[in-house]
Amino acid sequence: MQTIHSVAQVREYVRGWHRKGHTVGFVPTMGNLHDGHISLVREARARCDVVVVSIFVNPTQFGPNEDFDRYPRTLDADAAALVDAGADLLFAPSVDEMYPLGQNQTWVDVDGLGDYLCGASREGHFRGVTTVVSRLFNIVQPDVAVFGEKDFQQLAILRRMTEELLFPVKIVGAPTSREEDGLARSSRNGFLSESERKLAPQLYANLQQIQQAVEAGERDYRSLEARFSDALNEAGFAVDYLTISNARSLAPAAENDTDLVIAVAAKLGQTRLIDNVSLAVVDNQ
């Protein structure tokens, strides 16, 4: 595996692969890789001839009071993990390489889908995500790009962006990778204290209980949201949102919606965690 840092080098490699008729898979990351990231790389490897992984902690998707400065940078360990996972190329650009003109003035923004869930409380976050991913797509020119379903809203927004901007890229969503106790794997899990880490699996457990209630016929979604938000707050979380949403629009679900996502974001101490479960509602009437 080669590690490179410039846009020109990535384009040279990819042109060579495409000339040979190879398909190129791409996994964009911010590094500090865990088994969830590695599962994305393996998914790309199963679908494509060669795999490019990017590691770039993107400043434009962090708000002024978020954790950009303390986000872990572990490039050497990440590179070693990617060798074992079978990646062919690691692209690890600097901020200046990705934003060569300094303060960014050109943005990609997807209306509507960013109005809910994380987008409601992290102003500008998804504009930063879509802008950097569109740049990465233009640099890497992949045939397939793989993203985790843990970031359900991000995946939905990137699908819409790719479709509407006519990027010739197939977007693949890979299932959420979880620890044995159910906690969704995340680079931010390393910020949890020992006591917080023991509490964290309750996030997924509560989502499962809501899912079971809906599958049993409960349709008062706002009441479910309130009840389980209160339970998480009482357990020690600080809930940002817990929402039963239409899986397509991400708006709060109505009783007659059939495709749902139950999504949550909550803080434990200073660490913000997200998770979700999807389900199809079938009324047996």
Catalytically annotated residues: 37
Can you tell me the distance from the alpha carbon of 153 to that of 171, in angstroms, rounded to the nearest whole number? 14
Q: Is 165 annotated as a binding residue?
A: no
Site of tokens 């949403």 = 245
Q: Is 30 annotated as a binding residue?
A: yes
Q: Is 198 annotated as a binding residue?
A: no
Q: Is 173 annotated as a binding residue?
A: no
Q: Is 150 annotated as a binding residue?
A: yes
User: What is the residue-wise DSSP string for 169-208?
Assistant: -EEEEEPPPB-TTSPBP-GGGGG--HHHHHHTTHHHHHHH
- Residue 171's alpha-carbon distances to 47, 221, 222, in angstroms, are 12, 30, 32
Query: 171: number of CA atoms within 13 Å, CB side?
Result: 21
Q: Is 36 annotated as a binding residue?
A: yes
Q: Is 185 annotated as a binding residue?
A: yes
Q: Which residues fall within 8 angstroms of residue 182, CB to CB, at 6 or more apart?
A: 201, 204, 205, 208
Q: Which residues fall within 8 angstroms of residue 68, CB to CB, at 6 or more apart?
A: 57, 59, 62
Q: Is 199 annotated as a binding residue?
A: no
Q: Is 249 annotated as a binding residue?
A: no
Can you tell me the distance from the alpha carbon of 279 to that of 218, in angstroms, rounded to the nearest whole number? 13
Q: Which amino acid is at 284?
A: N
Q: Is 187 annotated as a binding residue?
A: yes
Give binding residues as ranges: 30-37, 61, 148-151, 154, 185-188
Give binding residues for ATP as ranges: 30-37, 148-151, 185-188
Give binding residues for beta-alanine as ranges: 61
Give binding residues for (R)-pantoate as ranges: 61, 154
